[in-house]
Amino acid sequence: MESKGLMCWVIAMFAVMLVILNSAAMVRASDIVHDDEAAPKKPGCANKFVLVKVQTWVDGVEDAQFVGVGARFGPTVVSKQKTANISRLTLSDPRDSCVPLKKKLTGEVIMADRGNCKFTKKTNVAQAAGASAILIINNQRELYKMVCDPDETDLDIHIPAVMLPQEAGSSLEKLMRERSSVSVQLFSPPRPAVDVAEVFLWLMAVGTIVCASYWSVWSASEDSIEPDKLLKDASDEHPFTKAIGVSSVVEVNMLSAVLFVVIASCFLVIFYKLMSYWFIELLVIVFCIGGIEGLQTCLVAFLYRWFKKSAESFTKVPLFGAVSYLTLAVFPFCVIFAVVWAMYRDAPYAWIGQDILGISLIVTVLQIVHVPNLKVGAVLLTLAVLYDIFWVFVSKKLFHESVMIVVARGDGSGEDGIPMLLKIPRMFDQWGGYSIIGFGDILLPGLLIVFSLRYDWLAGKTLRSGYFLWAMCAYGFGLLITYVAFNLMDGDGQPALLYIVPFTLGTIMALGRKRGDLNILWARGEPSRFCPHFRLQSNDQIDQEN
């Protein structure tokens, strides 16, 4: 089992490095990248930026739909599709719409290329020609917020302007060249502040940590039930431990906590520089390997009670050593499950398989990786918060975009983000998309919460007098505050650990100080325990035996 123990250790540590790369998980797939906070707001140029749906009609038949973003200037787009006008789409001539158009328009929507003059200039030219709206095609795949320059004066604009990504412009132009009549309909349905998907995602994150915590303590209690077997052959692993697949425990020390963040930063930069289709495919393979190991571990532990004999009967397998018959029976199913998910990961219901694999991986890692005391946990989480803040906010000044958000969205890869996250489709949002949370936002606080329940069990504390319940409540509240901040920031990427860690870590430290346990929690991590295998004899007993 040494080979399997090494394999678990490598997968766990590699999984931990991967999940922290996506700890800024509060990212909405709006693809609006321009930060306009410094842009001036003035009368005629003070609109809120809203996403706009551009529904196409080809020869009177409803066709493809594209998503753009409304400009800071001009009137706002109507919110309901049934009240939106259907107008003929035409190409600007000249294409940049920077000089008066060669022909007059009668309520048509004009499509112009970005560049050569200001956005407001293009819109005024289209308005003067009689257009009812203007679609400005970006020269990049992302959307861009159209703002006003500080010296703008010509802001008497009465038609809406919408920015579309480059790919949408190419598709529309192809439609116009192939078909006789292409019309568009512009509308901007409101996005709900809170979607039911976020509630389920919150329950999923909290539930994952609760399950991992109780499983960790359950495993420890099972080990303590059969101490004689453990003492009989210290070199052999406990049968139950082998059965559930947790063949070794990796403790995080101070040095590894620091190196963890440094190495994760290096990996993040590599991901950022190498982000492409093939790189996402590589991450999918790595995720499947970790998911297979995690799903196998969880299934074997779940089935152990009913198939105890198979779980405790072993056979030799090359490279892996002794493996239980139950593990051999479960392994093919796990491989097939991961392969099927990888093949159909773009399907509408593929998120279910991704969440199952992800939760299994997180739970397994929380069984293998432990923080020995509060000091190590505090250092690890504090560094993780600084890491989050740097790569979400500060990296914008160095790379001109948020490195963490770019990697989380998978920009430049042609794929819908990296797989190291849990996601649920937004149920009542007309814009669709997913509510997502990164593995790091569950795993890193989870290390501390699992430690708190192990401490409660060893100290003989009840749920109310212990630390686990309050740490769990603090985590849930911190995650809730993250969602609030995310929605208040109009969907801009947020470092979730910035809100989660202070609540979780602060609650344990405050309670520990109030109860007088802080020194033990901070330095030792475990209370003094009575060992049943050694009984001290009094002097009278020794004299009687002699």
Catalytic residues, which ones? 388, 441
Phi, psi of 147 (to 5 degrees): -120, 180
- Other Cβ atoms closer than 10 A to 474: 24
19 closest CA partner among 352, 190, 231, 264 = 264
Give the tokens for residue 256.
Answer: 């590894």
The 3-class secondary structure across 53-121, one letter per residue, is: EEEEEECCEEEEEEEEEECCECCCCCCCHHHCCEEEEEECCCCCCCCCCCCCCCCCEEEEECCCCCHHH
CA distance 353 to 484: 28
Which CA distances in Å does 75 have to 43, 48, 65, 161? Answer: 12, 11, 22, 8
> For the chain, how big is the Rg over CA atoms in Å?
29
Report the relative pairing of strands 314-317 and 161-164 from DSSP bridges. Answer: unpaired
Per the listing, tokens 């703002």 go with 147
What DSSP designation does 465 have?
A: T
Phi, psi of 47 (to 5 degrees): -65, 150
Give the tokens for residue 484.
Answer: 């609030």
What DSSP designation does 339 have?
A: H
CA distance 143 to 138: 7
| Alpha helices in 325-438, H assignment, sequence order | 325-343, 350-368, 374-389, 395-399, 403-409
Which CA distances in Å does 243 have to 222, 335, 359, 366? Answer: 12, 18, 20, 17
501 closest CA partner among 368, 409, 380 = 380
The 3-class secondary structure across 141-193, one letter per residue, is: CCECCCCCCCCCCCCCCCCCEEEECHHHHHHHHHHHHHCCCEEEEEECCCCCC
Give the tokens for residue 480.
Answer: 């809730």
Question: Residue 348: helix, strand or coil by DSSP?
Answer: coil
Per the listing, tokens 């949370």 go with 437
